[in-house]
Amino acid sequence: GRITIDGVDVRDLDQNALRRRIGVALQEPILFSGTIRDNIRYGRPDATDDEVLAAAKLAQAHDFITTLPGGYDAMVGQRGVNLSGGQKQRLAIARALLTDPSILILDDSTSAVDVATEAHIQAGLAALRRGRTTFMVAQRISTVLTADKILVLDDGQVAAAGDHRTLLASSEIYREIYASQLEPELLPRGGPAPGAQPAATNGASNGEGRHG
């Protein structure tokens, strides 16, 4: 088998060029000692201030940044010790978006963000996902509802696959997860199966992502 990006086998791509085409935001983001601006620019040092600002706004980071002493020039402690979990995650998303990657990987990257902020982030990402492959790993089913393809994992195995509408009609596990998180009044007695989680995939290149 082989993995291709835009029809090109990854084994034929320069590794540095390949890495530049992939943007990643993790559940436990890594931040460095330096300014907020430098941390967002880490993957693209030549980005303009306007581009940094735009990425921060999409990641719903701009508002909290402007409340910090110094704003975008505020200092970040090693590993972001002076920031909350949600703030660190939003900076990591902004950093990934700034690189304008062909492949975007969001690995439970909004787990520490409140539901309302996550909804704003997802709305901002909706347009950006067009034309690129996006993998989303998430604990919240709301994160993956608009994915082109969702993988439902049960004890580490793929139990079902399809878009949201298809899975609601065909997968009992998915329906139980959906009901438990978004419509608890519909949940059968006993709740969802232990170990079951949704997994989402989204992208113009039939990109797939896991939820779990």
Q: What is the pLDDT of residues 109-119, one digit of tens each?
A: 988 988 889 88
Per-residue confidence at 212, pLDDT binned at 50, 70, 90?
A: very low
Residue type, 23: G
pLDDT at 73 over 80: yes
pLDDT digits (tens, 9 = 90+) for 28-65: 999 999 999 999 999 899 999 999 999 999 999 999 99
Residues constituting the chain: 212
Average pLDDT over residues 86-105: 94
3-class DSSP state for residue 160?
A: strand
pLDDT at 197 over 90: no
Q: What is the pLDDT of residue 207?
A: 37
Beta bridge partners of residue 68, listed in sequence order: none
Nearest 10 degrees: Cα torsion 85, 92, 28, 118 = 60
Residue reference for tokens 């009609």: 169
Higher pLDDT, 103 or 131: 103
Rounded Cα distance between 98 and 36, Å, is 13
Q: What ranges make up the beta strands (E) of 127-170? A: 133-137, 149-154, 157-162
Rounded Cα distance between 76 and 94, Å, is 15
